[in-house]
Structure 1
Amino acid sequence: MLGISMQIALLLAACMGAANAARGAMELDLIFPRNETYAPTEIFPVIIAIQNTELAPFLNPQMTIEFLDLDSQVHSYPTFYDLRWANYSSSDPYRELKVFTSFNKEGRWRIAWQVRWNTCTEDSLAFLGDGITGNGTSRITMFTINNSGKVVDPVPATTNQNCTNSEAIVINVDDTLAVPDFITWEDYDGKTCASMASTTPAPTPCQVKFDSAAAADIFSSMTSLHCKQTREPGSSCPTDDKSAAEQLVGVGLVGLAATFGALGYLIV
């Protein structure tokens, strides 16, 4: 008669099949903002970089960010990132960019960001006890808006300058397991899940570096995203269908920085 351990092994082999093993650490880095002081601006970017994105399909990652005005204690509405469907081939490392307003006056701010992902183990898949498990962790970054602060410019952050003070979340995967058809979970659609390693390596935000073309694209995307939300008369946004990104192309990083700094005070 087969022992219990052998029965478990046979059940796993029959129900799970073979999975393509993947190992490594997927890292999410808050590239901008950092714990710094910035001048008032209407276009405030939040840039997240993701390293080792080949692990994302096994982790089913999702993320939220939320601002807190430390002076008034007023929270913003959480902004949700569904990273399950991201086009990771669009950039390397992959980046998520969103722009926010209401930073045109002095104040102290906290940005809280949380990452959630799914994992499994051989036991959880075999015995249906937990199946796919939800995990999560969060980080907090403080920054200040002050008239004496520097103009908001994400280029130094995206070109590997002063990177050691970047907040990061590391998810360490030591194996991948096939999910049996009889396991369903409302927040998980994958056929392969990640098994977590027992240790987590130190983050490596200084490995994130975007080239000049990517940095220029970030600038133009910031303006374009903001202009889609701001179409008021007298603003610096284009009034026709031509995007701000198209109008700014070819200006160069210095010109983009100057234009962006001006926009911070001209857009109402």
Structure 2
Amino acid sequence: MFSIKARAIALSLMVSLGTADTAGLGLGEVDLIFPRNETFAPMTITPIVFGIQNPAVIDGLYPTLSYGLWSADTPPSNQTHMTYLAEEHLPNKTGPVSFLIDSIANTLNTENEWRFVWRLRWTNCSTPDNGTTSENGRGLVETDDFSWRPYEVAHSVLFTTKKGATQLNLTALTADDKCDDAQALAFHATKTLKAPPSNLWGEKCAVLKSPSPTPTPCKASIAPAAASSMSSSLTARYCMDPTPVISCPAKKGGASINEATSHLRWWVAGVLLVGKLFV
């Protein structure tokens, strides 16, 4: 079985681009920013990046977002490694766009073909007077005055790492000529319901409109700013390991060991970061 040595950083980045919809209604979307179905240069640190548009809407769906990454020739029976980025609630629910960022170290630093699989699970709630309208439902949990139905969709990406290929640039992947290539799932929450205490922890749950809206992944663009801050945060995280896979600064009082960001050049793309960086 193909073995991945993964170290999750699990950063949640807030991008402040406007006023949040505090009611958790309207359009929401989950966009896969990276990986993409392209060829990239091998990388010591591989970012896994999802854009969450209107996270208050997505959070009302009780989302479970997970992913797996394997060598493309790994048999399905051995594709057992899955990492959960969000379970039931998103780390940040405010702002119009947030980014969920994870990373894998010392795996895609060789030439190979890779398969990335990501899965989103969510719920759609209803009452007898409005019905559960979203399509592709599996299983219905209901009481006399409330019901909710779970849904699940999985997508996959096949991509390649090859020496001499283009270095990963997150800004370029979200530019006008590339952003539409992103895999995405969109939702339209028309109202929220108060769930009974025995269902979904007694919190609000979204009622979705059907059919689902057309995704607009270009709205989850990544600007070339705050690259230094993000690179420093990632460096600090990996440098906590007993045997770091990147060059790290010397301990306090010592001389610097190479350039701290020398192996994190993919962060030259940067992300416009306003607010707090969670590591």
Specify if TM > 0.5. yes
> Residue in 1 aligned with 2:99?
95
Do the aligned partners of 2:41 and 2:168 also contact (CA within 8 Å) in 1?
yes
Which aligned pairs between 1:55-134 and structure 2 lie closer than 5 A?
55-73=57-75, 75=79, 77-83=81-87, 84-89=89-94, 92-101=96-105, 102-123=107-128, 127=144, 131-134=147-150
Task: Determine the structure 2 residue equivalent to 1:207.
Answer: 219
How does the TM-score come out when normalised to structure 2? Answer: 0.69
Give the 3 Å change call, closer, same or farther, for CA 199–41 of structure 1 in structure 2: same
Cα distance between partner residues in 1 of 2:252 and 2:69? 32
Q: Is the 8 A contact 1:62 1:82 kept in 2?
A: yes
Alignment TM-score, normalising by the size of structure 1: 0.72
After superposing the two structures, state which structure 1 stretch, 133-142 or 68-77, moved more.
Answer: 68-77
Identity %: 27
- Paired residues in the alignment total 226
In structure 1, the partner of 2:52 is 50
Q: 1:170 aligns with which of 181, 186, 209?
A: 186
Rg (Cα) greater in structure: 1
1:155 corresponds to: 171
Higher helix share: 1
Partner residue, 2:251: 240
Deviates more, 1:194-203 or 1:146-155: 146-155
Cα distance, 1:75–1:55 mapped onto 2, change above 3 Å: same
Query: How has the CA–CA distance of structure 1 residues 164 and 158 changed in structure 2, closer, same or farther, with 3 Å as cutoff?
Result: closer
Deviates more, 1:149-158 or 1:99-108: 149-158
CA contact (8 A) 1:25 1:170 kept: yes
1:197 matched to 2:206? The reply is no
Cα deviation for residue 116 of structure 1 reads: 1.1
5+ long unaligned stretches in structure 1: 1-19, 249-255, 264-268
